[in-house]
A and B are shown apart, each in its own frame.
Chain A
Amino acid sequence: MESLSNVDVSDEEEEITADIVLKTLQTAWQNECLAPEILPHNNDMVECMLGQIQHMERNINKLPKTDIRASIHKMELSRIKFIICNYLRTRLNKIEKYCISILNDERQRMETGTNYLTVGEFKYAQEYLLNMETHLKNVVLDKMPGNMKTLEMNKMAVYPNLQTHVFLKANSTISGVVLEDLVGDQDEEIDLEEGSQHILQYKPIADLVKNGKVQLV
């Protein structure tokens, strides 16, 4: 089987190796599982890895069934598929749960071109909301008196709790993370040293998660 170490990701216009793609995906998966809100998508990486998997599967089929390499490769592919499936499923769960608020935020983000959802995910969110609306109308609202028929979707919005506490590990040294102090109105500033681990509120470090300076654990 030929080497698979060089993969070209067209968007970044530089050669990155398959194992870096895998590491990025694993980090993205971990962060997505642990962050309260939805994070920017990693579609290039997912697509790239899915391509790799297909390529690998074709090669495995050429190997004799008893070959030990076949079972090793299959095992690795199952592990990678698990990460990808779990990652995408976690995102869909968040989309369903926070559908209205995510769609509202996403429309604003699309104007600046910093969208978090992939095209498919955005479509899914819109359809999910539409289906929910139709369902609620069919089941209850249509049978209500005229003045009670309106459905105010925005009042139903569920927001992720950004104040929740999370565990994190700093990938590089970051100084001046501001922690809000509620009692004394004295905000505290802390430094995160490289490799150190902390528990703190998600909100002050949300951007650091998105730009990869910290990793949720």
Chain B
Amino acid sequence: MDPYEIEFIGENRIVSVIPNFSYDKIYLICGEFGPFRAGLPLNVPLWLAIMLKQKQKCRVVPPDWMDVEALENIKEEEKRSRFFTKMPNEHYMVEAKLILGVAAEDVPNAAEIKTIIKDIWDIRMSKLRTSMDALMKSGGSYGRLDHLTMMEINSVKPLLPSAMDELYRIKMMTKHRTPTANLNSSTISQSGSSQNI
């Protein structure tokens, strides 16, 4: 899937905004939101928050986890643990990118937060690369990936599944070949046909 499609899915998450206008409840297909009261926070989907912000009709309330101290703790935890730690949010990268991109002035210490989130992302990606390498070397055809977010999974999609497919193909070929190792000429065509499964 395209990263923009992941972002699209992440945009359905609910965030809190403070509107600067008043309006009645609005009935959307994905649920009802409102009533909008100027100065009072309310929950809306992220895409709506971004849209209102772009029209300068609201301020975005940064999510709880978008806080220097909380993020530093997550970062330390991520460094300490051998495994992936649970992120505060299934789409933390999407949320961070959109909120910090459009509404940076609503987030205290935005620049610092951006750096820490990037650090966390980098630590996790390097962990992911190490574990992918280990998985491939052990010749595995199965792996468990708890706590990885969709965006992180998506970033290895062009590589990992096809590498595993390739490994599987090689295993199939060796399996077909071993019983008749001497009859090389006939096994080549055999393994050739097993490729097209």
Binding site for B on A (CB under 8 A): 1-5, 18-19, 22, 26, 30, 33-34, 49, 52, 56, 68-69, 71-73, 75-77, 79-80, 82, 86, 159, 161-167, 179, 182-183, 188, 190, 196-201, 217
Interface centre among B8, B47, B48, B142 (most CB of A within 10 A): B142
Query: Known: A4-B29, A197-B148, A199-B145. Is A165-B8 also a contact (CB below 8 A)?
Result: no
Chain A residues with Cβ under 8 A from B164's Cβ?
165, 199
Q: Is A19 touching B165 in the complex (CB atoms < 8 A)?
A: no
Which of B5, B48, B142 contacts A200, CB < 8 Å?
A: B142
Query: Known: A26-B9, A75-B47, A217-B150. Is A69-B23 also a contact (CB below 8 A)?
Result: yes
Chain A residues with Cβ under 8 A from B157's Cβ?
167
Q: How large is the interface on B (under 10, 10 to 19, 20 to 34, 35 or more residues)?
A: 35 or more
Q: Is B153 touching A188 in the complex (CB atoms < 8 A)?
A: no
| 5 extra interface residue pairs, beta carbon distance < 8 Å, beyond A197-B146, A217-B153 | A19-B31, A22-B30, A165-B165, A188-B142, A200-B142
- Interchain CA distance A69-B33 in the complex, whole Å: 11
B123 an interface residue at 8 Å Cβ cutoff?
Answer: no
Query: Known: A5-B32, A69-B26. Is A200-B153 also a contact (CB below 8 A)?
Result: no
What number of residue pairs across chains A and B have CB atoms under 8 A from each other? Answer: 111
- Interchain CA distance A68-B44 in the complex, whole Å: 15
Mark B36-53 against chain A: 1 for CB-CB distance below 8 A, else 0.
000000000001100100
Binding site for A on B (CB under 8 A): 1, 5, 8-9, 11-12, 21, 23, 26-32, 47-48, 51, 55, 57, 139, 141-148, 150, 153, 157, 160-161, 164-165, 168, 171-172, 175, 196-197
